[in-house]
A and B are shown apart, each in its own frame.
Chain A
Amino acid sequence: MNPLREHVEKLFAEYKPTRQTRELKEEILGNLEARVADLTAEGTEYAEAVEIAKTGIVSVDGLIEGQLRYDAAKYRVELLQSALLYCLIAWIVTIPMRLVGVAGQFSLALPLISLVLGIIYLIVRSSVTGENRRIETWDRAAAERSRKLAWIVWGIFVLAMTASTTALHMGSHIWFGRPLHISGPYQFGVLAASYVWPLVTMIVPLLFNASIRLKYKHEAGAEYVD
């Protein structure tokens, strides 16, 4: 491959190919070749001219809209940490529910998930050293859309669960116009737990939030200075 084209391909290596990136690639390549043509016309050796042209542009950070760069390794470690934290908190909330026989699978699944996350976290943490800087790009707009979608889906889920719990426990009372009667602390506990457990799933959209926040936090800076 022509060395200039190779150079340009490398510049765009970590970016998602879009029409914008393709056009910019061509433009940059065209200008580099014009520079090399100029230099060789003035007498510079082709190889040297290529090197000079290459130093003219060494990064396309900031030229590509919507794609930001972040330190993937650090991001992953912190995201795992947050996920672990959220899962543990969720687990602790579901343990008392075992007393009233609600959400039993959650209080068993969550510690297992936490354990797996913990092991992955330890592995990933120990393999991240200074040299392993893996830079990746993310599309901020797309990430925001995913985040909003996650919250909407969660909201619908909670609404559906709340409606079904209400129908289950109070349906006949509402239908027949009877006043609601709670027969004791145990039944109160069952009711309360039934309404609370869907809220525990909030950790999922919260992790979407954390993901975006952490990508900003570990933003990789541009390598060129104006």
Chain B
Amino acid sequence: MWTKNKTILLLAAAGILLFGTVQGVILPKWERDRQAYEAAQQSPQTHDLQNIVKYQNKYMGNASNLSNLMHSLPLNDVRSTLELYPDTLAADIVYHAQTADIRPEKLERSLIYNATAAFALIGNLDEIRFKFDDRTYAAKRSSLEAWYGKKLPALTGSPKIWKPMVQEPLGDPDYVKKGIASLFTVHRDSAPKHGNSI
């Protein structure tokens, strides 16, 4: 009878300890880690390739897939709509914001990163246009292929390729400047055209 009572007290103490550890230590840490990870996804240099490889698709006409892809890339915190032009194999990402609202480094790095990702994962996409309220950045697949010196789908094979070839160079401001200049044509006006909106 006595040892049973001792066991009960022991178990109660163990339960309280375990519960406290789970609730007070482990779960909050996991939450902090998760938030840090989420924050990292906003930056092209720390973005996790694994989050977007699942959106690999042959056809840019698959609107929901392309939309999901764009919402998993940096700048997804800016409200946007998707417009598709299957005849020209072009897609417009219309960001409802001024470029001035976004930090220039983050903006330029993300543009290069997102264009690379889009062309690498969507098989027949040929042109992509990032439209802001005040400006449009347009890029063609051929420009990026020339820039990276290879067919773009090859980059997404593994993080070991993606990281050094696409992400790390974005740390260098000169690289970013040259990239924007070579890869994008920039238009000052942005009249929204009609197309497939999501």
Contacts and interface: CB of A to CB of B under 8 A. Distances in A.
Given A88-B8, A98-B27, 6 more contacts: A85-B4, A85-B7, A85-B11, A91-B15, A111-B19, A118-B12
Contacts of A118: 8, 12
A88 B12 CA distance: 6
A90 B76 CA distance: 44
Contacts of A114: 12, 15
Interface string A67-109: 0000000000010010011001101100110110000000100
Interface string B9-42: 0011011001100110011001000000000000
Contacts, number: 40
B88 interface: no
A115 B4 CA distance: 16
Using C-beta atoms within 8 Å of the partner chain, give the interface range for chain B: 10 to 19
B8 A84 contact: yes
Interface of A: 78, 81, 84-85, 88-89, 91-92, 95-96, 98-99, 107, 111, 114, 118
Contacts of A96: 18, 22
A52 to B, nearest CB: 44
Q: Which of B19, B27, B30 counts the most chain A CB atoms within 10 A?
A: B19
A88 B11 CA distance: 6
Contacts of B18: 92, 95-96
B5 A81 contact: yes
A182 to B, nearest CB: 16
Q: Which of A84, A88, A96 counts the most chain B CB atoms within 10 A?
A: A88
B11 A95 contact: no
Contact of B11 (A78, A92, A98, A107): A92
Contacts of A85: 4, 7-8, 11
A92 B11 CA distance: 8
Given A81-B5, A85-B4, A85-B7, A92 B15 contact: yes
Contact of B15 (A78, A81, A98, A111): A111
A107 B1 CA distance: 27
A224 B131 CA distance: 100
